Amino acid sequence: MPIFGRKPTLAEAVDKIRAELQAGTLPGEVLDELRRRDQPVVSGGREPPGLQEMLEAVPGAAALLEVGGRMVARNAAMMRLLGRASTVLETTRSAELQDVCARGLAGWPQRRELTLPALDLMVEAHVTPLSHARALLVLRDLTAERRADRVRRDFIANASHELRTPVTAIRGAAETLLDGGLDLPEQAREFVRMISRHAARLTRLTDDLLDLSRLETGAWKPQVGAIQLAPLADSVLDLFRKSAGEKGIVLDADVPERLRATADRRARSRELGGTGLGLAIVKHLAQAMSGEAGLESSQNGSRFWVRLPSG
């Protein structure tokens, strides 16, 4: 279609460029300019956002990847995190991240948390496959968050260990006074009983804190196996039936006889009361056994649930 001799419309110019692109006759300088801009030619009143503008809009450090993990474009956050190196492997020295990127470039969406020792970083990597053998890499820096978690876990573990010795000594001394046949005034005996009760509760609290620390750090490894849930539920309810009856609470279980779960059996008798950490411990135990736990509350009460792999 001849368009010279008069001023072409925008739509005609775009159609002409598209036709020459398909025919391979577009001048080289025009192709170079299009590649530099890295944006499609479209009809309409406004140009779409460029590649760099879109990368800057991505929350987190983002880069456009090509085969081999080459970063052909990146936003400012990625520049600050990984610098100017051309490939993922060159800048991170991480074969694991290189593998994640390779899988994404092959068409498989990836999401993995990993450590980059060469940069002293912990990141969560998301790789989203794109067309033309490209992929979008987004990294979330978890370093400060994970360090804070480690400091918190270490503090809990250390404090619990330090508390255990004096609390045990106080509890032992109180029980010795009560059972030693000493002729103590009743008021003094009641005071010693109170010390013994609170020392026992502190002992349970430190034990639970240590349990939580072991679960969070992965120091506790579950010994899983097939468990019949009906007899297990009955035995658990028997532990609490008396105390529940004293408060007017009726306990019951409705568990199919053949229902089984793949789990580690949890023998955590709390005859003297809990510490308030039970739900947190249950959540971490369930996660350690490839399950999950949760709570749903309403005006009619609360529903606690645990999901575990079937046995």
Which CATH number covers residue 108?
Answer: 3.30.450.20
Query: Are residues 194 and 260 both part of a single domain?
Result: no
Query: Are residues 121 and 160 both part of a single domain?
Result: no
Q: How far is 127 from 110, CA to CA, in rounded Å? A: 5
Q: Are 192 and 261 in contact (CB under 8 A)?
A: no
Q: How far is 164 from 272, CA to CA, in rounded Å? A: 18
DSSP 3-state assignment of 149? Answer: helix
Query: Are residues 128 and 68 both part of a single domain?
Result: yes
Query: Are residues 297 and 229 both part of a single domain?
Result: yes
Domain span holding position 16: 1-48
**Which of 77, 112, 139 is the C-terminal boundary of a domain?**
139
Supply the pLDDT for residue 105.
92
Pure H helices in the chain: 10-23, 28-37, 51-57, 76-82, 88-92, 95-105, 143-179, 186-217, 229-246, 278-288
**Which of 217, 239, 254 is the C-terminal boundary of a domain?**
217
- Whether 65 is covered by a domain: the verdict is yes
- Whether 165 is covered by a domain: the verdict is yes
Query: Are residues 239 and 296 both part of a single domain?
Result: yes
- Whether 84 is covered by a domain: the verdict is yes
Joined tokens for residue 38: 């890295």
- Whether 54 is covered by a domain: the verdict is no
Supply the pLDDT for residue 20.
63
- Whether 53 is covered by a domain: the verdict is no
- Output the pTM of the full model: 0.50
**Helix 186-217 vs helix 278-288: crossing angle, to nearest 10:** 30
Write phi, then psi, for 70 (nearest 5 degrees): -75, 130
Query: Are residues 113 and 156 both part of a single domain?
Result: no
User: Minimal CA–CA distance to 142: which of 81, 200, 192?
Assistant: 81
**Helix 143-179 vs helix 186-217: crossing angle, to nearest 10:** 150
Write phi, then psi, for 140 (nearest 5 degrees): -110, 120
Query: Are residues 135 and 161 both part of a single domain?
Result: no
**Which of 139, 173, 206 is the C-terminal boundary of a domain?**
139
Query: Are residues 281 and 212 both part of a single domain?
Result: no
- Whether 180 is covered by a domain: the verdict is yes
Supply the pLDDT for residue 161.
77
Supply the pLDDT for residue 104.
92
Query: Are residues 175 and 102 both part of a single domain?
Result: no
Query: Are residues 184 and 241 both part of a single domain?
Result: no
Residue ranges of the chain with pLDDT lower than 70? 1-49, 181, 267-276
> pLDDT of 75-104, one tens digit each?
999 999 998 888 999 889 999 999 999 999
Q: What is the CATH number of the domain that holds 156?
A: 1.10.287
- Whether 55 is covered by a domain: the verdict is no
Structural domain total, the chain? 4
- Whether 284 is covered by a domain: the verdict is yes
Query: Are residues 302 and 242 both part of a single domain?
Result: yes
